[in-house]
Structure 1
């Protein structure tokens, strides 16, 4: 197969797989284990996402779609049915919600509208903040986590917010959960947009701004500008979403609930003229 005969899908998947496999190999997963996960996902999607005419999917139908044998489809289907892994994306982490509440809830602001220094206990306190945005999570345990990550600190004046976003540092399990959640959401949006026209649905917002001939010396200025602008936008959107979230408001609407959000990531890679990794 030469470059002139490679399909657009092959090229897109190859570019997608390279950064994915850097993470996979760095975490010690060999090909056999990765291949087993791919086969499970193939069967899961064939049975649960692509059933014809909303009929109950069959192993035979999944075998035709995936190219696997019916025996293997049956094995993988039984594993999926008995797996302990949650089927849906977990809700926003407790620590992240507490930090967002501290940033956006006026009850926990000072006279300048900034996140206030909070006592540990009392009507308006760190404990009250944790209870409002994290439910039954012990305030001390969550506070220790924020301190460990350098997001907050406790001293004689009380609890001070140091960063307006919770991003775990050095915790592979948490970072990998964020990786799975964020990339899954991004691909779900792209999948929706690829088929939106044929389903007569509106596309979801998907935009990228990028130039391919930027001097490397511009990186520090770009990083500072992108961080400042993106963080300001995310804080505004966070306030809008928090005011409508059932967990935050304590209200349970009768209508179905959905997960809404906007992801922003910085792009930095070699110029396309300097490196080409397509097959």
Structure 2
């Protein structure tokens, strides 16, 4: 793709789509399937994000905005309606993450010093009770096996269960990891869009910062990866200590008793590295 033939937005989109194409190909998603999802997203955005509050959004208006035919708009709208009916008010938080968060913040599962307590598997204030509070209908054994698989929970010599890490991070192209991929990329793009269009009615930009250097010697990278991971984890845990106790599920011991419209919020950190590629003129990008 020649940069001289494209707008800045086109170049930005290509940088987003290039690693996404790699992920899609690795998971056997052909272009036609991806294109169908793009059509659906265009229709959803046209009908929801660009709707005139005084009028009901129409297929004709969505067709004009998206460049799709009215027939295609109607098809995608009907699919979207079916998806929304199947998941009314659905919450997409990973259930294993909710269990870990409850273990960290719910005083019923803490020591006298406020640290996550070692828990028996069954009985009052046990791991099974923790899962019941924060993971709905998931079986305690299934949640435990997953948390032990990724090293978040371990069995002590006493037979009790101990929390080894304050965060659940799935591995590979698992369903949970792909869910996180969708949420993280969506949140980042939404933040950038918010900042690009003037930060909304209140004029306040959302925090968006990146630290980048492009001439780091390779012998430094091992130490840098470890340091970046340690500092990032420490900062997220500090933010979690402040925000976690305000979560309705935790404040209400999993019963979500508070009233009023909920807000989804958070802070994301990610690490990256790649070789610096020379451009066609021999200069580094």
Residue in 1 aligned with 2:265?
Answer: 260
Following superposition of structure 1 onto structure 2, how do residues 78-227 of structure 1 map, counting pairs within 5 Å? 78-83=78-83, 86=87, 90-110=91-111, 114-157=115-158, 158-170=160-172, 172-197=174-199, 199-227=201-229
- Measure the CA separation in 2 of the matches of 1:261 and 1:196: 20
Using the TM superposition, give the Cα deviation of residue 145 of structure 1 relative to its aligned residue in structure 2, in angstroms: 2.1
Using the TM superposition, give the Cα deviation of residue 111 of structure 1 relative to its aligned residue in structure 2, in angstroms: 6.2
Does structure 1 conserve the Cα–Cα contact (< 8 Å) formed by 2:199 and 2:206? Answer: no
Following superposition of structure 1 onto structure 2, how do residues 46-57 of structure 1 map, counting pairs within 5 Å? 46-57=46-57
Residue in 2 aligned with 1:36?
Answer: 36
Using the TM superposition, give the Cα deviation of residue 104 of structure 1 relative to its aligned residue in structure 2, in angstroms: 3.7
Does structure 2 conserve the Cα–Cα contact (< 8 Å) formed by 1:43 and 1:73? Answer: yes
- Measure the CA separation in 1 of the matches of 2:227 and 2:179: 27
Moved more, 197-206 or 8-17: 197-206
- Measure the CA separation in 2 of the matches of 1:94 and 1:74: 35
- Specify whether residues 258 and 173 from structure 1 end up closer, same or farther in structure 2 by C-alpha distance, changes over 3 A only: same
Using the TM superposition, give the Cα deviation of residue 67 of structure 1 relative to its aligned residue in structure 2, in angstroms: 0.8
The Cα offsets for residues 56-80 of structure 1, whole Å up to 9 and x where unpaired, read as 1111111111111112111221222
- Measure the CA separation in 1 of the matches of 2:231 and 2:193: 28
The Cα offsets for residues 171-209 of structure 1, whole Å up to 9 and x where unpaired, read as 521111111111111111111111135745311111111
Does structure 2 conserve the Cα–Cα contact (< 8 Å) formed by 1:97 and 1:134? Answer: yes
Using the TM superposition, give the Cα deviation of residue 87 of structure 1 relative to its aligned residue in structure 2, in angstroms: 7.8
* Structure possessing the higher relative contact order (Cα contacts under 8 Å, 6 or more residues apart): 1
Q: Give the aligned length.
A: 276
Which runs of 5 or more residues in structure 1 are unaligned? none
- Specify whether residues 53 and 138 from structure 1 end up closer, same or farther in structure 2 by C-alpha distance, changes over 3 A only: closer
Using the TM superposition, give the Cα deviation of residue 106 of structure 1 relative to its aligned residue in structure 2, in angstroms: 4.8
Query: What SS is found at the alignment partner of 1:56?
Result: coil
Does structure 2 conserve the Cα–Cα contact (< 8 Å) formed by 1:118 and 1:160? Answer: yes
Does structure 2 conserve the Cα–Cα contact (< 8 Å) formed by 1:89 and 1:181? Answer: no
Does structure 2 conserve the Cα–Cα contact (< 8 Å) formed by 1:212 and 1:272? Answer: no
Using the TM superposition, give the Cα deviation of residue 255 of structure 1 relative to its aligned residue in structure 2, in angstroms: 2.4
Query: What SS is found at the alignment partner of 1:236?
Result: helix
Query: What SS is found at the alignment partner of 2:246?
Result: coil
Which runs of 5 or more residues in structure 2 are unaligned? none
2:248 to 237, 241, 246: 246
> TM-score, normalised to structure 1's length?
0.88
Using the TM superposition, give the Cα deviation of residue 264 of structure 1 relative to its aligned residue in structure 2, in angstroms: 0.6
Query: What SS is found at the alignment partner of 1:262?
Result: coil
- Measure the CA separation in 2 of the matches of 1:155 and 1:245: 30
- Measure the CA separation in 2 of the matches of 1:135 and 1:29: 32
- Measure the CA separation in 2 of the matches of 1:196 and 1:88: 29
Query: What SS is found at the alignment partner of 1:4?
Result: helix
RMSD over aligned Cα, in angstroms? 2.6
Using the TM superposition, give the Cα deviation of residue 7 of structure 1 relative to its aligned residue in structure 2, in angstroms: 0.6
Residue in 2 aligned with 1:45?
Answer: 45
Residue in 1 aligned with 2:24?
Answer: 24
